[in-house]
Amino acid sequence: RRAWLAYDAHLRRHRSLDFDDLLLFTLRLLEEAPAVRQALQQRHRHVLVDEYQDTNRPQYEIVRRLAEKHRSLFVVGDDDQAIYGWRGADLSRILGFARDFRGATTVRLQTNYRSTGAILEAANRLIACNVGRHEKTLRAVLEAGDSPRVVGQPDEEAEAAFTAQDIAARLSAGARPAEFAVLLRTALQARPFETALRAAQVPYRLVGG
């Protein structure tokens, strides 16, 4: 508590806001200053929210107040991709959208143009286990392709070594380097893969990050 009070006092002295403040002060302004709220509603006649499944309570309230006059609100989201509950995202917002905004039209985008049929089949079976979700079944435009393989590894070094050795073996069997890609969640994860690929004498090109 002492640390937070000192931090808050520092922000006030420097007339600064952190990310949480940007949300909370904006919401307070919309609630307590009708003239400001009306001006913002007039300025933002149409509201679009992407990744709606990741909105938290203050974000939801801000959107609701901005859109309540013109009722021109368009949100895009997927309840099966909600992964930010640990930082305040509330899945019930997207699940209850039709209830919170009466008269809304729901458009389900269930055709997938990116993944093969085998990958989508595995994904559908996995996400069907989610509790509290909108029913949906993704359909692939692409052919079935090879079945995905899941290999558990104890740490990132073992994971990278396994991947590099697997690619090296396939290259020796006649595969082309252009057939392979290693997808990473963050740029920081590339380091052990670069080390392992060099050790396995596999040429590579790092894209991004």
Q: What is the pLDDT of residues 90-125, one digit of tens each?
A: 888 898 898 889 899 999 999 999 999 999 999 999
Contact 40, 12 (CB under 8 A): no
Residues 14-48 pLDDT 10s? 999 999 999 999 999 999 999 999 999 999 999 99
Average pLDDT over residues 153-175: 96
Residues 6+ apart with CB under 8 A from 115: 123, 140, 142
Residues 6+ apart with CB under 8 A from 159: 153, 192
Contact 164, 193 (CB under 8 A): yes
209 pLDDT more than 80: no
* pTM to 2 decimal places: 0.74
Instruction: Report d(CA 28, CA 41) in Å as an integer.
Output: 15
Residues 55-97 pLDDT 10s? 999 999 999 999 999 999 999 999 988 888 888 888 888 988 9
First to last CA, the chain: 38
Residues 183-192: contacts with CB under 8 Å, at least 24 apart: 184/209, 189/156, 192/156, 192/157, 192/159, 192/160
Instruction: Report d(CA 110, CA 17) in Å as an integer.
Output: 40
Secondary structure string (H, E, C) spanning 22-81: HHHHHHHHHHHCHHHHHHHHHHCCCEEECCHHHCCHHHHHHHHHHHCCCCCEEECCCHHH
Q: What type of residue sits at position 88?
A: G
